[in-house]
């Protein structure tokens, strides 16, 4: 009797989705999905050029893998401990909040103090009346 099996490559390739590359029989892996809190087109700033910020968050929080699923608007995080998952989730949320504030400031929707700028309508402007 013969058995055919498919083996998944067990090596990491940057930019290619393959979370199975970090599985070993001796260490348990935990996964968490983080909802994105900003528009999808801003996620490129969260991820960074060539995944720079995901790479930094991966190493700082000691997780094994971070991947953004654009079709479901979620970030997948893999780690060997719940503490690392929590740390990575907090760092990702902080990064999204930072990008959100930066984009709102850049687009003129908030000022330097983080206060919302009210748009002035022409109907709100009172005309100067010359009083003699």
29-59: pLDDT as tens digits: 888 999 998 888 899 999 999 889 999 999 9
Distance (Å, whole) CA 119 – CA 51: 36
Does the structure show a pLDDT above 90 at 62? yes
**pTM for the complete prediction?**
0.70
Phi/psi of residue 32, nearest 5 degrees: -140, 145
Q: For 108-118, b where at least 16 C-beta lie within 10 A, e where not — what string?
A: eebeeeeeeee
Q: CB of 76 within 8 A of CB of 65?
A: yes
Distance (Å, whole) CA 62 – CA 89: 12
């Amino acid at each position: 009797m013969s058995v055919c099996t498919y083996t998944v490559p067990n090596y990491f390739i940057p930019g290619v989705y393959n979370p199975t590359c970090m599985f070993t029989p001796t260490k348990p892996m935990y996964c968490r999905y983080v909802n994105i809190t900003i528009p999808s087109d801003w996620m490129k700033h969260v991820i960074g050029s060539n995944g720079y910020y995901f790479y930094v968050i991966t190493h700082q929080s000691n997780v094994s893998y971070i991947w953004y699923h654009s079709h479901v608007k979620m970030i997948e995080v893999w780690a060997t401990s719940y503490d690392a998952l929590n740390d990575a989730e907090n760092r990702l949320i902080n990064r999204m909040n930072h990008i959100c504030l930066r984009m709102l400031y850049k687009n003129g929707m908030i000022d330097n103090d983080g206060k919302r700028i009210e748009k002035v309508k022409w109907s709100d402007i009172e005309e100067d009346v010359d009083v003699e």
